[in-house]
Amino acid sequence: MEVIDLAWWKLALAAVLLLLLALCSHLSRLGITRSLLIAGTRTAVQLFLIGLILEALFAAADLVWIVLMAFVMLLVAGREVMARQERRLSGGWAFGIGTGAMFLSSFTVTILTLTVVIGPQPWYSPQYAIPLLGMMLGNTMTGVALSLDRLTESVWRQRAVIENRLMMGQTWREAVGDIRRDAMRGGMIPSINAMAAAGIVSLPGMMTGQILAGSPPAVAVKYQILVMFTITVGTGFGALMAVSVGSRRLFDTRERLRLDRLV
């Protein structure tokens, strides 16, 4: 099946619709007009640039450039995790914990999927590696950010309760056990909801893209199931690691709550 290319003027029509939405939001005084226009501009520019980069990567298929691209994606995702936390750990820990959790979970699951499940030749083929890692990092980033934000915000709100539990003889793990579990659940809920609604409420993006590109629906379904399972695994382990390390950072070696480590 031939892929239908999109002329630039057709994309301009979609941009006009976005401008119309921005106008309506401005007239309704929603306060999101500027954010909407900036986000739309960033989307167009960033995707255009990444398209050029991917074309070069696909042509070269060099492991060094693919690894460099992967780490740039990781660092940007780590910065976004830190930026999305209203109350975060100080001293670079918010960036370090988020980035480390995403690295261990997303990279491990992506490499395992490429080498064992999909098996392209070579295993780091950019056609598979970059899109798969991008989906992994994007979803894991959301899960880790939600988990850490819920953890730090809950500890700040319930600081008196936690300190009372510590004075009653509980360990730091017991004092924040319910908060840790709630934070981990919060990071995993979006992935669980996406799996529960897939195919009934919505057609996931990767499956839709493959079908539009001409792949048989049966093949697109298999890849989408694989991607959703691996995304959930990566997000789950990322949230677990981030909350575990982040909660420990909130206590010193004498198991005292250190609120001065939050900014």
pLDDT in tens, the chain (263 residues): 556 777 888 889 999 999 999 999 999 988 899 999 999 999 999 999 988 988 888 888 889 999 999 999 999 999 999 988 888 898 889 999 999 999 999 999 999 999 999 999 899 999 899 989 999 999 999 999 999 999 999 999 999 999 999 999 999 999 999 999 999 999 999 989 888 887 777 667 777 777 777 778 888 888 888 989 999 999 999 999 999 999 999 999 999 999 998 98
Whole-number pLDDT of residue 220:
84
The amino acid occupying position 225 is: I
pLDDT at res. 2: 59
Phi, psi of 166 (to 5 degrees): -65, -40
Q: What is the pLDDT of residue 3?
A: 64
On average, the pLDDT of the chain sits at 90
Q: What is the pLDDT of residues 113-149, one digit of tens each?
A: 999 999 998 999 998 999 899 999 999 999 999 999 9
Q: Where are the domains of the chain?
A: 1-60, 61-261
Residue with tokens 């892929």: 3
Burial class (CB in 10 A: 0-12, 13-18, 19+), 155: buried
Q: Which of 105, 134, 142 is nearest to 233 (CA)?
A: 105
Q: Which residues contact 131 (CB under 8 A, 6 or more apart)?
A: 206
